[in-house]
Amino acid sequence: MTIRARAFIVVLALAGVSAAAGVLHAREVAYPPAPVSQRLLYLRSGKTAARIMLDFDALAADVYWIRSIQSYGRDLKNRNQPDRFALVGPLLDLTTTLDPHFLIAYRFGSVFLAFEPPNGPGRADLAIQLLEKGLAADPTRWQLAHDLGFVHYFHTRDYAAAAEWFERAAALPNAPSWIGPLAAVAKAQGGDRQGSRQILRGLAVSEEAYIRRAAERSLQQLDALDAIDQLEALVQRFNEIHGRYPSGWQDLIADRALTGPPADRQNAPFVYDPATHRVSLSPESPLMPLPEMLRR
Amino acid sequence: MTGRRVGLVAWHVFKESVRDRVLYAIAAFAGLLVLGSVLIGQITAGQDLKIIKDLGLATIEIAGALMTIFIGVGLVSREIDRRSIFALLAKPLPRWEFIVGKYLGLVLTITVNLWAMAAALYLVLAWQNMAATESARLSWPAPALDPRLLWAMVMITAEMALLTAVALFFSSFSSSALLSVAFTVGIFVAGLASTDLRHFNDIVQVHPAVGRFVGAIGWALPAFSEFDIKSQVVHGLPVAPGLIAAMVAYAAIYAAAAIALSVVVFSRREFK
């Protein structure tokens, strides 16, 4: 066979593959694939999955972990999807049954599950179940006990339970020294911004980049709440001085109460409503929604 | 003299096996998969190192099993197909020396390949270690270049030495390579599920006699599932040296038994 004939066959084969992709695309347009929520998780029992995977259960756990992240990320983007985040819990359960020592699956998984809508399913009960499963598999992991305290503090708002879990975490091997005082904070300042800040600062120094980022975001939300309180105080002060409420930020800037339009730590401008005289975050801000429990 | 003859057969098998294209195809596939694990690691929310180790060790085990099965089953049947067995048996070479030499040669080939793949995995891990930030390193449950991974490699090597003996056994009595592959794969898969078979009564509600029968099969099968410590070493959990020693001893005893059976079967075979 000549070189020209060989090259012709290669080009023909590549054209064939491209044509096949075109047919596939036309098929997807004509018969769209089922929406995410209708997709099935064929295997829901972790124990059955472990048997089927033979020696390769840790590898299967990795696959399910990637699927958990993808499922969470996809549902986070598709806000109008019915049954959003419905697969995250079962996928995490499979992941952790296949690999009971997969620490980040418990830690980050509990964050996914506990997030309030629209950022998560708001299933603090499932988050607690997942973390308790992790502690049953490895009772010496202070991180899991700490995260149980965190979920109780921020999501179930059971400050006594939070304090108890922080105490248990502090007593576990290799627990950092900053966990001990969190029990007292949870007891004395449950639901208080200062207490929340102290708990989040601990997480913000976590070795896990994703947990650190989630804590930093929550700290920025607390800063935004403080900023909103201060801005509303300025609005009231303007009313006391001028006998009327400002019509916009320009009035406060002209009055030298502000140096420019105020923005949150993500540089999204705060919104002032002249009708209600209330200040809020921009709907476009990555810090939305703010934690309701810490509003004043 | 016996040692020298066995050594010569083994060395011949090693030289012949390393020329086998199947070996290179599997090794190249494994190498690509180990390298590809770096890409897969990028989509795992900071769990890249765990995935590289999991995927790397699983790839080494699967590639080792494929090499063992596809080369192992042809060890004897190929000599018969090529009729070179007549020339070999005409020489002052007892049949048991021929079988033991074949076995040792293939174990040498598989061991060299397994450890070459392990070296490739360590190279990927070393690169990952260099590229990682200090805080990322702190979040790892075990260091990137954790020497404990070598314990997993010892277990995989012992597992493959046992699988080689099983493949050789089927190769010694079956003239069909396809049948030998089917038998060996069947025993390997059953052996990977042997823990469940041994404890069948605890898993499934059946008549106690059935449970005992299945349990007996579980004890008789080579317990390939017991060589799995991949998950422990990846998480940096302690692995008792006694466990490793016990499994290496188990592999040696079981492989010796399988080779003995192969010798018995092969010595009774007639070649026309």
pLDDT tens, residue by residue, A192-202: 777 788 878 87
Whether complex ipTM tops 0.90: no
**Closest among A183, A126, A135 to A156, alpha carbons compared:** A126
User: Is the domain of A159 the same as that of A274?
Assistant: no
User: Is the domain of A252 the same as that of A170?
Assistant: no
Does B243 contact chain A (CB < 8 Å)? no
CB A113 within 8 A of CB A123: yes
Q: For residue B78, which phi and psi values (nearest 5 degrees)?
A: -65, -40
Q: Which two tokens stand for residue A185?
A: 């904070």
The answer to whether A208 contacts B46, with C-beta atoms less than 8 Å apart, is: yes
Report the distance separating Cα B167 and Cα A54, nearest Å: 20
Which of A217, A246, A264 represents a domain boundary (last residue)? A217
Residues of A in contact with B227 (CB under 8 A): 55
Report the distance separating Cα B251 and Cα B231, nearest Å: 20
Question: What is the DSSP-derived secondary structure letter of residue A205?
Answer: T
Average pLDDT over residues A124-139: 95
- Between residues 105 and 164 of chain A, which touch chain B (CB distance below 8 Å)? 108
Report the distance separating Cα A20 and Cα A221, nearest Å: 50
Instruction: Tell me the per-residue pLDDT of B94-114, one tens digit each, with 9 for 90 and over.
Output: 888 888 999 999 999 999 989
User: Is the domain of A243 the same as that of A108?
Assistant: no
User: Is the domain of A183 the same as that of A60?
Assistant: yes
Does B39 contact chain A (CB < 8 Å)? no
- pTM score, two decimals? 0.73
Domain boundaries, chain B: 2-268
- Between residues 180 and 239 of chain B, which touch chain A (CB distance below 8 Å)? 189, 192-193, 196, 224-225, 227-228, 230-231, 234-235, 237
Report the distance separating Cα A114 and Cα A112, nearest Å: 6
User: Is the domain of A267 the same as that of A165?
Assistant: no
d(CA B193, nearest CA chain A) in Å: 6
Q: Which of A36-50, A173-187, B6-20 has the lowest mean pLDDT?
A: A36-50
Indicate whether A271 belongs to any domain: yes
Which of A217, A243, A270 represents a domain boundary (last residue)? A217
Indicate whether A36 belongs to any domain: no
Say what percent of chain A tops pLDDT 70.
93
The residues that bridge with A272 in the sheet, in sequence order, are A279
Residues of B in contact with A51 (CB under 8 A): 193, 196
User: Is the domain of A90 the same as that of A172?
Assistant: yes
More confident residue, A140 or A191: A140
The reported pLDDT for the residue numbered B18 is 77
Report the distance separating Cα B16 and Cα B39, nearest Å: 35
Q: Tell me: pLDDT of B136 over 80.
A: no
User: Is the domain of A58 the same as that of A185?
Assistant: yes
The continuous run of DSSP H or E covering A102 comes out as: none
The reported pLDDT for the residue numbered B251 is 94
The reported pLDDT for the residue numbered A193 is 78
Q: Tell me: pLDDT of A36 over 50.
A: no
Q: What is the mean pLDDT of chain A?
A: 85
More confident residue, A229 or B24: A229
Q: Tell me: pLDDT of A33 over 70.
A: no
The reported pLDDT for the residue numbered A292 is 64
Report the distance separating Cα A232 and Cα A239, nearest Å: 11
Domain count, chain A: 2
Q: Is the peptide bond before A289 cis (omega within 30 degrees of 0)?
A: yes
The reported pLDDT for the residue numbered B44 is 67
User: Is the domain of A266 the same as that of A157?
Assistant: no
Instruction: Tell me the per-residue pLDDT of B115-134, one tens digit each, with 9 for 90 and over.
Output: 988 988 898 888 888 888 77
Which of A178, A198, A217 represents a domain boundary (last residue)? A217
**Closest among B58, B111, B45, B35 to B234, alpha carbons compared:** B58
Give, in order, the Cα–Cα distances in Å from A67 to each of A93, A171, B106: 12, 34, 39
The answer to whether A58 contacts B136, with C-beta atoms less than 8 Å apart, is: no
Q: Tell me: pLDDT of A38 over 50.
A: no
Residue A288 falls in which region: left (phi positive, over 0), alpha (psi -120 to 50) or beta = beta
User: Is the domain of A63 the same as that of A199?
Assistant: yes
CATH for A59? 1.25.40.10
Instruction: Tell me the per-residue pLDDT of A153-174, one tens digit each, with 9 for 90 and over.
Output: 888 888 889 989 999 999 999 8
Q: Could you write out the DSSP letters of every residue in B48-73?
A: HHHHHHHHHHHHHHHHHHHHHHHHHT
**Range with top average pLDDT, A108-117, A186-195, B132-141, B182-191:** B182-191
Give me the residue from A59, A65, A66 closest to B58, CB to CB.
A59
The continuous run of DSSP H or E covering A272 comes out as: strand A271-273
Domain hosting A154: range is: 43-217
The reported pLDDT for the residue numbered B41 is 65
Indicate whether A178 belongs to any domain: yes
Give, in order, the Cα–Cα distances in Å from A123 to each of A54, A64, A100, A110, B41: 32, 20, 21, 9, 28
Interface mutation target, options B40, B50, B194, B202, chain A, most CBs of A under 10 Å: B50
The reported pLDDT for the residue numbered A70 is 83
Q: Is the peptide bond before A262 cis (omega within 30 degrees of 0)?
A: no
Q: Tell me: pLDDT of B150 over 90.
A: yes
- Mapped onto helix, strand or coil, the DSSP state of residue A279 is strand
User: Is the domain of A101 the same as that of A201?
Assistant: yes
Instruction: Tell me the per-residue pLDDT of B18-47, one tens digit each, with 9 for 90 and over.
Output: 777 777 777 787 777 777 777 776 666 667
Residues of B in contact with A95 (CB under 8 A): none
Instruction: Tell me the per-residue pLDDT of A268-289, one tens digit each, with 9 for 90 and over.
Output: 899 999 999 999 888 888 887 7
Residues of B in contact with A208 (CB under 8 A): 46, 139
The reported pLDDT for the residue numbered B78 is 77
Helices (H), A172-270: 180-189, 193-204, 209-242, 249-254
